[in-house]
Structure 1
Amino acid sequence: MDQKIIVTVDVVLLTLVGERLEVLLSRREREPFAEQWALPGGYVHAVEDADSLAAARRVLREKASLTSPYLEQLYTFSGATRDPRGWSASIAYYALVSADTLRPAGPAPFELWPVDELPRLCFDHARIVDGALERLRSKSAYSSLPCYLLPPTFTLTELQQTYEHVLGQKLDKSAFRRKLADFDFLEVVKDAQRTGSHRPAQLYRIREEKNLMLFDRTI
């Protein structure tokens, strides 16, 4: 008799804390790999989940008590050796949220880890994290994707710094501002400015109808 295939979803939830990308991890509650660090994940529920995206959204609600404004399928990781329970397939997703979102009222069921200082992860979750980082960085070079790491409103300086932290390189301010003007995916938040030690800075947000903007050339 053929062995039943294990089908799960795993989510790489990324956020920007200061200047560093961090990923959400939690300790597994049961075997295999009980008490070891893992990505939020779980079985696909054939009756409850309409598709794998619905399963990924449910996992985030159950494991991290949140809904991500951006959730994209990454890749399907599969094989006979990735899970000691048997032949398995994990439909992996990556999600982006503002760090402000990850502030639970009580004890958090998860921890954030810098992507370059990860603990040992169970299954092949380290490989999944690497795949998500590669996708984020490559896609950020030609899209508005880094905006999802920011709060709903932000300054142009904060937006440029976010791109720089994701891409790992400094960007020319004038060229970056011209790029923003060319693709027109931001709108001014009327009567809203960021105040501080410097002169007030205008606040912006993503145009609702734009969602994810793809550029015809890289940043």
Structure 2
Amino acid sequence: MQDQSFPTPIVTTDAVVLTLEDGVLQLLTLRRAQPPFAGVAALPGGYIHTQEDHDAAGAITRILREKTGLGGFHLEQLASFSGPDRDPRGWSVSLAYMALVRRKDLGELAEGVALTPAYEARDLAFDHDDILATALRRLRDKGAWSNLPALLLPSEFTLPEIQNIYETVRGTKLDQSSFRRKLNELRLVEETGKTRQESAGRPAKLYRLASGAAYASRLFDRMI
């Protein structure tokens, strides 16, 4: 039995879903239909259903499918956010997740779902500005040791394309020779044996992610 002398906090889960469109890192948002913050853009999220959800990861997977129609991609736990002021309905805690998803895998967005440049997103509902800032900081500070950015790549790509992905996600330029040296040292990519003619010059070699590289860690720990 719940001890009524200790009120139960609101427990929710939210997702920072990022993609790349036209060379810009984009954030998936959902316009809220109900108060609080009705009509305001927010991260997809909602209540954890204790009778239905096995855990928080299961909850955010369910919520994304119900509210956006999306799913089937890797979600990584980001952080927890809590306190008496983040939700006007009461003391609350949110278990936040993040995902990087190829734009084509998002398909046609449902009504109320939109993409906005991630580094320009402002005035989201609740404390979602803070959650987004934490996710972007994770990418800038630790995108170097994770190959999460590689999840945005098509199945085949050139070396300039993979470097551009990492630069866009991290918001910084990378030294080309250092980047390619790390790719070779860590065996993140492998040649496909194919080429692509991109200009009047020599055809560019096409690469793919190496087998077993999908979720390796500490890939670029000392990137220059």
The TM-score normalised by the length of structure 1 is 0.89
The residue identity in structure 1 corresponding to 2:32 is R
User: For 1:1-219, what aligned pairs fall within 5 Å after superposition?
Assistant: 1=4, 2-67=6-71, 69-104=73-108, 108-190=111-193, 192-198=194-200, 199-213=202-216, 214-215=218-219, 217-219=221-223
Alpha-carbon offset, residue 42 of structure 1: 0.9
Alpha-carbon offset, residue 160 of structure 1: 0.5
Q: How many angstroms apart in 1 are the aligned matches of 2:137 and 2:13?
A: 19
Question: Mean alpha-carbon deviation: is it higher for 21-30 or for 166-175?
Answer: 166-175
Gaps of 5+ in 2: none
- Asked if the contact 1:146/1:162 (under 8 Å) is kept, the reply is yes
Give the percent of matched residue pairs that are identical in Structure 1 and Structure 2: 47
Residue 165 of structure 1: SS of its match in structure 2?
helix
For residues 34-82 of structure 1, what are the alpha-carbon distances to aligned partners after superposition, in whole Å with 9 as ceiling and x for unaligned?
1111100011111221111111222222222222533111111111121
The residue identity in structure 1 corresponding to 2:107 is R
Gaps of 5+ in 1: none
Q: For the aligned residues, what is the CA RMSD? A: 2.0
Alpha-carbon offset, residue 127 of structure 1: 0.4
- Asked if the contact 1:155/1:202 (under 8 Å) is kept, the reply is yes
Question: Which stretches of structure 1, 4 residues or longer, exceed 6 Å deviation after superposition?
Answer: none
Distance 1:153 1:62, change over 3 A: farther
Question: Mean alpha-carbon deviation: is it higher for 201-210 or for 149-158?
Answer: 201-210
Distance 1:161 1:13, change over 3 A: same
For residues 135-194 of structure 1, what are the alpha-carbon distances to aligned partners after superposition, in whole Å with 9 as ceiling and x for unaligned?
11111122322101222322211001111112222222222111111001223335x443
Residue 24 of structure 1: SS of its match in structure 2?
strand
The TM-score normalised by the length of structure 2 is 0.87
